[in-house]
Structure 1
């Protein structure tokens, strides 16, 4: 009987191993840059084309390899990093498994150029789908250059699962940023095609953060230094001005290796305490220096996870150090909140005084006036937006006829709806009480409006008196370029204006002039969080715009504005849920109220 169990071929073994090591183009960049760092490189250049699908190249000035070493490096489990179990237990190099190069070469068209210091010639090796095609002498170069073309061409099933080039590019960008922040002593160059994304010089961590993100980050950083029984930690954490609504600017390192550890990251959040709320994420770059004998980084082939022997000691050290750092200047940090609060209050008051387009749009019978007209408005009474008639505006009369069940009972106050804590709108209905969240109600209205504009165009804009020049981080700039055409359809007028810089000339009428920078940052954050989750790009953008442009909790609305908001809500296709799935309306029946008061 023929055995059903067979020994797999080396080629198939390599392709299976590649599935663990090479998940996407960013995985390739990660493995190649780790090799460059382990080779002692002080300069590393990374080039990607078409999100890494077409070509990736990593060039370094490290120690290089001889011809024999280059060929051995393409064998599975061949490495210069370790030679015994004792080496594995105390490993400090980023790579050590000897799987990366053969795994990458097995699923791509691979070219390696390398030479050692003072050599007269180098070595050039070409590989296709795991098979070595040629080994020839080449000119001597200072270090090693690895070029990858047509990733996953040999495994089409894997290639079709790759995301769009912009999405894959952002994953690569994030991988490069992790190395740049973790190794400030190394100079990095990063190119997307022929366009330079960023270039850093050898520096300290503070300067590197400014180079990688933006120099405006530097004044808002606090240095972290501390220690525990088994570790030391260094780095920087951001003040409240660097708190964002999405993850992405949190970097945790273990002995210079970037790690993904939810428990240790939560220790940082705990250290901030009440300074951050749920759904907010502070900026931090923290490096943990731990005896390698007390950690295990050989948990997964990606080497981004670690196990700590004294896990809770590490957790407490991080939490305590961050807490002490951010609370030493707690008075100053509270002061930094005060201008933000005062500005928000001023914005609301200005909104009430000048009637920006967001409030005016609540009135369905009125088109949005031009920006110049808005500046001349001082109160509803001075415009023809609301005409009083028998104590009610036309909007109220329309509302009464459309929703007769909401009319006041005889002897009750004239008001049809009430606002509670400037957040919820409450109205009596025949069955009890109806409670509406004003923010998510307006969000649903703006979402469906934005979807319509993205399909047909023609969004109304208000021109800015002084166009705003805004410089973005590389990742934010990449996201904006991806959604720029959509943004212009809904009323923005944005053009590229140099490296990582945009010029905002107009904003949608629903957005208050002067807040365009903040709104853009929030839309980008929200889009980054929602895109790629089986949500079409245009719907993700519409949801992001609606969330950030909608009337906020805390804004006081007049009776007419509340009624108009409800009218517009019930003209939408799905009035009961916001684009993110949160309920818009909660009903409390008389029976439920009676039970709460123990009448039944």
Structure 2
């Protein structure tokens, strides 16, 4: 858009026009290219950076071997266990509980949840009866069989690994004709227990949803890896994690010293003692006692010679 400035005589004043445009552009700030404001750092509050700097300068790596030597101090706020862990490399093999240097807080709910999860996982398996020692998930019979729709191509893939489905706790009957329906006669026992708990609370049945999710998980493994894995299926793990969470020690549950010791001992036997059933950390470091500055109180003695000179000067001034 052209801007014209008229003089008093009615003529266009080119000099005034140029000055007006220059003034407008010099004062206008384009919001699209606005720079973010600079945030000043107050170095007087540098003590607030101690945690980040401490984590960089003194990183800690926990190991299972540290937990049996952990010294329980007491329960804190009915939520955590205050403990001492020995992280000194020169005393890594020392079994003494009195030499802990790192103060940590253990989440009592997360720790008990981990203990319960690993116990539930161990109980979820049966040892194979074919003398091979193959682990298979405990299953429960469904009567009448559960009807699930599955594309014919996916049915064909499942047929090819039908022998492995038994170790997954599944018993599938395929139709003789080209039918999208399959019939599930057995499912992992934890699915049935989950369904019973939901119905007991007045909620709708979840057995079909769990089985369909379970089948999708196995089909994705077959498509991506070409075979089924021998590890614990994710669908089963999520159900067991839910059981572990609901039955675990909660916040505000009071624990005496013996119960604290028992929880730590149970946690030391776990495969993943530093994570809860959902992957969150169960132990957090607070402070290394070796890095706490020992405050020494220095008693300053009065300088009697200086006081004497000041007294004499005051006497002369009087």
* TM-score, L = length of structure 1: 0.23
Higher share in strand: 1
* TM-score, L = length of structure 2: 0.39
The structure number with the bigger radius of gyration is 2
